Chains A and B, each alone.
Chain A
Amino acid sequence: MNARSTESVGPDAASPRVDGRRQRSERTKQLIVEAYLALLRENPSIPTATQIADRAGYSVRSVFEKFPDLLALRIAATDHAIAIGTTQAAPRYVEADRMTRIRSQVETRAETCETWLPLWRAVNANQGESVELKMRIRLMREAIRQRLELMYRPELEALKDPMRRSTMVALEVLTDFESWGRMREFYGLSIEESCAVWIRAIDRLLPKVPGTR
Chain B
Amino acid sequence: MNSPPDSDGGSVRVDGRRLRSERTRQLIIEAYMALVRESSQVPTAVQIAERAGYSVRSIFERFPDMHALRVAVTDHAIAEGRNQGVLRDVDSDRMTRIRSHVEQRGHGCERWLPLWRVLATQNEESPELKKRIRMIRDLVRLRLELMFQPELTGTAEPLRRHTVIALETLTDFENWGRMREFYGLDFEQAALVWIRAIDQLLPPTPKPS
Which A residues are closer than 8 A to B by beta carbons? 44-45, 125, 138, 141, 162-163, 166-167, 169-170, 172-174, 176, 178-179, 182-183, 186-187, 189, 193, 196-198, 200-201, 204-205
Contacts and interface: CB of A to CB of B under 8 A. Distances in A.
Contact of B166 (A169, A186, A197): A197
Question: Interface majority SS on A: helix, strand, loop or mixed?
Answer: helix
Nearest to B196: A166
A141 B182 contact: yes
Q: How large is the interface on B (under 10, 10 to 19, 20 to 34, 35 or more residues)?
A: 20 to 34
Given A173-B178, A178-B172, A183-B169, A166 B193 contact: yes
12 contacts: A166-B192, A169-B179, A170-B193, A172-B178, A174-B197, A176-B175, A178-B174, A179-B170, A179-B172, A187-B165, A193-B158, A201-B166
B19 interface: no
B32 to A, nearest CB: 19
Interface of B: 121, 124-125, 134, 137, 158-159, 162-163, 165-166, 168-170, 172, 174-175, 178-179, 182-183, 185, 189, 192-194, 196-197, 200-201
A179 B171 CA distance: 10
Nearest to A169: B193
Question: Interface majority SS on B: helix, strand, loop or mixed?
Answer: helix
B169 A179 contact: yes
Contact of B169 (A169, A172, A182, A196): A182
Nearest 5 pairs of A and B residues by beta carbon:
A170-B197, A173-B175, A179-B169, A201-B166, A197-B162
A45 B124 contact: yes
A205 B51 CA distance: 46
Contacts of A141: 182
B137 A186 contact: yes
Given A169-B193, A186-B137, A205-B201, A200 B172 contact: no
Contacts of B163: 200
Given A167-B196, A200-B166, 20 more contacts: A125-B121, A162-B192, A163-B196, A166-B196, A166-B197, A173-B170, A174-B170, A174-B175, A176-B174, A179-B172, A182-B168, A182-B172, A197-B165, A200-B162, A200-B163, A201-B166, A201-B201, A204-B200, A205-B197, A205-B200
